[in-house]
Structure 1
Amino acid sequence: MLSGKPVYNRLHLQQFRTSTNMEAVTDKGIILMNLGSPESTEVPDVKRYLMEFLMDKKVIDYPYLLRLLLVGGIIVPRRSPQSAEAYKRIWWPEGSPLVVLTKQLQAAVQDELQDIPVTIAMRYGNPSPQAAYDELLAKNPRLKEVILLPLYPHYAMSSYETAVDYAKAIHKRKKYKFKLTTIPPYYGNEDYIQAQAACMQPYLEQDYDHVLFSYHGVPERHIRKGDITKTHCLKVDDCCHVASPAHEFCYRHQVFHTSERVAAALNLPKEKWGISFQSRLGKEQWLLPYTASRLTELPAEGKKKLLVVCPAFVSDCLETLEEIGMEGKHSFLESGGESFTMIPCMNLHPMWVQAIGKWCRQLIQP
């Protein structure tokens, strides 16, 4: 993982003090870091993006030559035209929804923080962390500290970890003099939980049978690989609910924790919600149950009015708008479902913007 051992307390954010009247600290800057997107829906741009994404050794963690053969020779040539069509279905006039929403979030957080400069970076594609660092330096050559907020609530080697490692590597390689401080995963932070719950609340006013929390999947092998104890994850019965240092870096535990906290905040009965995992790639075993399977099974279980939420994503993107909102809806209705509602990501929800502002203010206090 980042250092082979915990480098932060995952409850740090819950211990922050609120400050709303602080004066501007102009030697600090904020970067909101998201996944990224192709530059356009054209196949060459999608191919370029997929190559960068899938060649990341933390996404597909095979030896380089095998990864190159698999990604460059099989996956990307096959998926690029299909992905380009999928992107066309959800592309906005302003561009990629994920990029547009991240820019809008940046503007909203900038309003919240006023004189503290806020910019964005992407793990894949543009703008890069270097571009973000340079932008902040251009605004203030005396920059002393940059606070990096990865827009991933949960820790996974293929999301949070690779984003942080990438930002740190560029910071080190370019020999920037300012300090880089990273906000840890906030999957259990009360501000995040309440913002996610508030985003969902209006949709619970309609008639529904079931709420499905659909998270981006990862291979089970990644969960075992990330287990710092090497004896707990997917080895101990009900491992995600048995206390262990492994939970610090366990994506599966963290998404269970988020779902349970949000369900409790919304007073959801246990029989009216469940968890699944989407976006499987390849044939190896990924976290179960698969969202695609649950969407076809739920109607037969009498759960025909469905709400789906994707808390692993804070900004709507291909995986929410197309995979769930279009393909998932089609599968559910074709299998006998009566109504399907995809609850949007937090995007620009005021409580989410306020939470980010609060966390950043608490870190930039003198």
Structure 2
Amino acid sequence: MKGVLLINLGSPDSTKVSDVRTYLDEFLMDERVIDIPYWKRWLLIKGIILNVRPKKSAAAYAKIWWKEGSPLVVISERFAKKVAANTKMPIALGMRYGSMSIEKGFKELADQGVDDVFIVPLYPHFAMSSTETVLVKAEEVRKKLYPNMKTSAIDSFYNDPLYIKAMSANIKKHLAGFEHDHILFSYHGIPERHILKSDTTKSHCKIDGSCCETASIAHKTCYRHQCFETTKAIVKELGLKEGMYSNSFQSRLLKDPWLKPYTDFEFDRLPKEEGKKKLAVITPAFVSDCLETLEEIAMEGKEQFLEGGGTDYKHIPCMNDNDDWVEVMNTWIDAWAKQ
């Protein structure tokens, strides 16, 4: 029997500092998130970060928390419910980190008699700290608990025409009535070394401004290339003019070089250096609004941009559980079921 396991990032159980610490411990100790030797990671996370960051992060979560719970979890649940309503196949939801685990998702499907699972990491773009860690964890769970279960996974859908059309429709809807002179495509950042580590050719990726434009098998696992391709596709779909949009990367951690330009730097640069005063910000790396979009972009980003000289600012919500996005997912699921 076929079934689908949707997997998103995850969230703390509450805004309590203790719950946030537990969540951050699991998240940051993942070797594909902070990819340094275990002993260094242990000292950094256990000895430093978990003594400082949970309180700050808890305060940030408190600013965006809903009555029903974590926005990311609530939105993901609504999305899964809508997808399930449009298919006869069992649909389960799991999270890579936190109590709503991948293990629980597998068990929910297994209890319904599912022995063939379509795994859908809810990340449009491939990265070792998102798609890869989800697939590795899912395979660990399958081998340990459900060795006879068959699994397959969706390909990264960053340039899938259905995804692009749904994203573009969502953007167009939320831009209606908002006068803007620039659109910033803000993608989640990753360390530059992750790009090089994910390069299957071990020679193509150089992060030099040209490798992303040169055809290569390396693009299948290149987050940077895939982000730029998403922007190109949306720009074409919406008919945006050159100079009216740009890319940036947010949410960097530690002092290592991450993908540039940095979103927070752009909030200052755009109004001061380019005279862009009316900004719309899109976050195409996320399909569900979460801490990084609701607090970092919608709140902090707006404040920084206006303080930097901007006059008008709008955060474009993610697709969340809108009907277009639900229809796209059901189309992909139906296509898999027919294979």
Higher mean C-alpha displacement, 202-211 vs 48-57 = 202-211
The answer to whether structure 1 residue 224 and structure 2 residue 196 are counterparts is: yes
Taking only the aligned residue pairs, the percentage that are identical comes to: 48
Shift of residue 237, structure 1, vs aligned partner: 5.0
Please list every run of 5 or more consecutive structure 2 residues that lacks an aligned counterpart in the other structure.
none
The answer to whether structure 1 residue 264 and structure 2 residue 236 are counterparts is: yes
Q: How do 1:96-115 and structure 2 match up within 5 A? A: 96-113=70-87, 115=88
Higher mean C-alpha displacement, 317-326 vs 201-210 = 201-210
Q: Deviations over 1:257-289 (max 9, x none)?
A: 001001110001111000000001001100000
The answer to whether structure 1 residue 120 and structure 2 residue 120 are counterparts is: no
The answer to whether structure 1 residue 75 and structure 2 residue 81 are counterparts is: no
Q: Which amino acid aligns with 1:40?
A: S
Please give the alpha-carbon distance, in whole angstroms, between the structure 2 residues aligned to 1:127 and 1:89: 22
Q: Which amino acid aligns with 2:109?
A: L
Q: Which residue of 1 aligns with 2:276?
A: 303
Q: Which residue of 2 aligns with 1:332?
A: 305
SS of aligned partner of 2:187? strand
Shift of residue 123, structure 1, vs aligned partner: 0.3
Q: Which residue of 2 aligns with 1:241?
A: 213
Q: Which residue of 2 aligns with 1:51?
A: 25
Higher mean C-alpha displacement, 119-128 vs 172-181 = 172-181
Please give the alpha-carbon distance, in whole angstroms, between the structure 1 residues aligned to 2:175 and 2:66: 28
Q: Deviations over 1:34-84 (max 9, x none)?
A: 000000000000000001000000000000010000111111211110000
TM-score (norm 2): 0.97
The structure-2 alpha-carbon separation of the partners of 1:302 and 1:165, relative to structure 1 and needing over 3 Å to count, comes to same
Q: Which residue of 1 aligns with 2:133?
A: 162
Q: Which amino acid aligns with 2:7?
A: M
Please give the alpha-carbon distance, in whole angstroms, between the structure 2 residues aligned to 1:236 and 1:87: 36
The structure-2 alpha-carbon separation of the partners of 1:100 and 1:88, relative to structure 1 and needing over 3 Å to count, comes to same
TM-score (norm 1): 0.90
Q: Which amino acid aligns with 2:203?
A: T
Corresponding residue pairs, total: 337
The structure-2 alpha-carbon separation of the partners of 1:247 and 1:307, relative to structure 1 and needing over 3 Å to count, comes to same
Please give the alpha-carbon distance, in whole angstroms, between the structure 1 residues aligned to 2:291 and 2:150: 34
Please give the alpha-carbon distance, in whole angstroms, between the structure 1 residues aligned to 2:227 and 2:48: 31
Q: Which residue of 2 aligns with 1:250?
A: 222
Q: Which amino acid aligns with 1:306?
A: L
Higher mean C-alpha displacement, 347-356 vs 36-45 = 347-356
Shift of residue 130, structure 1, vs aligned partner: 1.5
The answer to whether structure 1 residue 287 and structure 2 residue 259 are counterparts is: yes
The structure-2 alpha-carbon separation of the partners of 1:53 and 1:223, relative to structure 1 and needing over 3 Å to count, comes to same
Please give the alpha-carbon distance, in whole angstroms, between the structure 2 residues aligned to 1:255 and 1:357: 24
The structure-2 alpha-carbon separation of the partners of 1:328 and 1:242, relative to structure 1 and needing over 3 Å to count, comes to same
Please list every run of 5 or more consecutive structure 1 residues that lacks an aligned counterpart in the other structure.
1-26
The answer to whether structure 1 residue 136 and structure 2 residue 109 are counterparts is: yes
Q: Which residue of 1 aligns with 2:161?
A: 190
Shift of residue 139, structure 1, vs aligned partner: 1.8
Q: Is the 8 A contact 1:195 1:349 kept in 2?
A: no
SS of aligned partner of 1:139? coil
The structure-2 alpha-carbon separation of the partners of 1:305 and 1:149, relative to structure 1 and needing over 3 Å to count, comes to same
Q: Is the 8 A contact 1:154 1:312 kept in 2?
A: yes
Shift of residue 132, structure 1, vs aligned partner: 1.1
Please give the alpha-carbon distance, in whole angstroms, between the structure 2 residues aligned to 1:237 and 1:46: 38
